[in-house]
Structure 1
């Protein structure tokens, strides 16, 4: 049985986004079955789930169950203006699951080298939207090289 982690636990990040969702089951199908997250714990009566994939953590909270902390009208797509960068160990596995399910990509896979001062950080990445329109930028590391 999973136990709710405390902030003293070493594997709990200092920042965990909580995303409002319309249908928890549809969101769990996407986040867990397609992307590869696992459920750390749920509060089904509240429409809530805490998920993790390696060091990437996210909370899903169903709109209109219990309380909501909305700053505006929840019109789709939700999460406009942000993308969630998530490191995955094997991008091809995730791409395969998405393709098998017929899930559309927002941006096809690409190789990009981002400058960080005098070093270039390489990633292979793609973007996909979850059922509520949140934009996920899934990446895998390609290494470093001089800028």
Structure 2
């Protein structure tokens, strides 16, 4: 049986701004990049994301003209181990990016109630990332 993995590829206005944000604010490492294509592959705790500048060389798969904010109608949920540490880093390095302040929310899931500590960040291109920590003791 194969392991399947979803790795979103997000277009960005400025790859250098995106790289700085994902590394300094979110804490990603750059696994590899292709400078001439304005492409970077980020990884952190098993989560991988690709970013590609819209002005780089090479192919682009765009179904419409991009308009800011990018990623309308989607948010990426990301389970983290230390949500308080990440929230503090975001508050310190990019407080303007916080789209939803930290909260504790209950969600009905089949026959149990999940308790989730969460907050949402909007990256420089408008993509929403919902960081979560699930723990019934929260």
Instruction: Assess, with a 3 A threshold, how the Cα gap between structure 1 residues 36 and 102 changes in structure 2: closer, same or farther.
Output: closer
Residues 28-86 of structure 1 show CA distances to partners (whole Å, capped at 9, x for unaligned) of: 11111111211111111211111112122111011021221111111110000000101
Rounded Cα–Cα distance in structure 2 between residues aligned with 1:143 and 1:96? 22
In 1, are the aligned partners of 2:38 and 2:55 still within 8 Å (CA)?
no
Q: Could you say what secondary structure the match of 2:65 adopts?
A: coil
Match of 1:108 in 2: 101
Q: Which one of 62, 75, 92 corresponds to residue 67 of structure 2? A: 75
Match of 2:33 among 42, 49, 53: 42
Conserved in 1, the CA contact under 8 Å of 2:10 and 2:50? yes
Give the alignment of 1:1-147 within 5 angstroms.
14-65=5-56, 66-104=58-96, 105-143=98-136
**Contact 1:125–1:137 (Cα < 8 Å) also in 2:** yes
Q: How many residues align?
A: 134
Structure 2 unpaired stretches of 5+? none
Which secondary structure state, in structure 2, belongs to the residue aligned with residue 30 of structure 1?
helix
CA distance in 1, matches of 2:59, 2:95: 31
CA root-mean-square deviation:
1.7
- Counterpart of 1:3? none
